[in-house]
Amino acid sequence: MLSILHVDMNAFYASCHQAKDSFLKNKPIMVAGDPKKRTGIILTASYEARRYGVKTGMPKWQAEKLCPQGIFIKPEYELYVDTSQRVMNILRNFTPQVEVFSIDEAWLDVSGCEKLFGDSLNIAKKIQCEIYKELDLQCSIGVSSNKLLAKMASDMKKPNAITVLYPEDVPKLLWPLPVDKLFGVGRRMNERFSHMNIKTIGDLAITPKNVLEKAFGLNGTYLHLWANGIDDSRVNPHIADDAKSMGHSITMPADITSFDEAEKVLLFLAEQVGRRVRRENYLGRTVSITLKNNLFDVVTRSNTIFYTNNTEDIYNTAKRLLYSNWDGKMPLRLIGVSLSNLVKEFDQVSLFSEEKKKKKLNMAVDKIKDRFGDDAIFRARLLQDKELNERKLSKAQKMSENKRSRF
């Protein structure tokens, strides 16, 4: 049964800017970091720019030469995260079985949804239409029998396409592809495959399992299964819950090089973690941060505090960890915040009066956001300028008025 979908937003960062500003529609735009940072590389490009040969990771000067009429835009991570949340909310309108894979990708299990929305192909079409209608964004969707094949299918046709991949078509459609096109195969693994004379997915599929296990350990077993289109992993919408921790991380479209920028990211992540923990009625006592620099070195540090689910407590602890483990010199590419050692909230975990005030405030903010949307209320620390402030306030007021008119 083809009940697994993989939704992949097309040229996500660039498309967010085009949806936000109609002037950029159908124009070759390139999202680029500060030329003084990361040596001015292209972080992503619209499909209009890609037609000129512009690619992600290309130096800015080379992109300008290929596409002199291109428009360069600085990244706005808040825009991307906000849009991502809205995309995921649309997906959850079709099924609660949504596993977020990255800021612009998710798997869905639509088993049992046929009576409501039709078969999986019809659901894919409706998802595309709904995302375009609500957000003015396009996506590619893979439809198959498991997560691996759905992911491979969504990569086959872009942009704005739906691809159905049947398991019996794996030898014909997947095996001729270069082995590095297989989901999970990175650059280093591909180099090792080259030494083993494994060039295509088909080569990998017919390599004896014991040979792969000897070379890659347990991963060798999975590689053999994946090359043959076999994947028994389930779509898990509560994957973080299973580990008794809840966290969020974000890979920056441009490296972070100042404490001010890093603090804004930490506050945003702390708010996401706090809101989720409160929604699930948990308290946690270990706050952790993850920092990945532009050399891909990863540092994870934790601090144990009193049981809490308050955004302020999570943020302040995360900020202390940041200042004690980062000197502000090495550019950061990824920041993550998590709360672990979770317990269900219960009366024995008493709160001081000040903590009760924080809890009431956070729950009030949660209720407003749940009812009127994420933009109905926001923290001033996350706003960068007056124009953005006014724009969000206007949007929040309109949303509030629209909501009230329904009651």
Question: Kindly report the CA angle at 244 between 240 and 249, in degrees rounded to 5?
Answer: 40
Residue of 304, 307, 254 whose CA lies nearest to 278: 307
Residue 273: count of CB within 10 angstroms of its CB = 26
Run of H or E residues at 102:
strand 98-102
Q: Which residues pair with 29 in a beta bridge?
A: 71
CB 5 within 8 A of CB 141: yes
Instruction: Report how far Cα 100 is from the mean position of its chain's Cα atoms.
Output: 7
Task: Give the contacts of 110 (CB within 8 A, at least 6 positions apart).
Answer: 3, 4, 5, 94, 95, 97, 117, 120, 123
How far is the C-alpha of 407 from the C-alpha of 398, rounded, in Å?
15
DSSP string, 201-262: HHHHHHS-HHHHHHHHTHHHHHHHHHHTT---PPP-TTHHHHTTEEEEEEEEEEEE-SHHHH
Residue of 273, 346, 347, 337 whose CA lies nearest to 309: 273
CB 238 within 8 A of CB 18: no
Residue of 361, 365, 362 whose CA lies nearest to 375: 365
CB 252 within 8 A of CB 277: no
How far is the C-alpha of 49 from the C-alpha of 17, rounded, in Å?
14
What is the signed CA dihedral for 309, 310, 313, 315, rounded to 10 degrees? Answer: 100
Beta strands 71-73 and 29-32, pairing class = parallel
List active site positions: 105
Mapping DSSP to helix (H, G, I), strand (E, B) and coil, where does residue 30 land? strand
CB 144 within 8 A of CB 7: no
How far is the C-alpha of 75 from the C-alpha of 284, rounded, in Å?
33
CB 43 within 8 A of CB 54: no
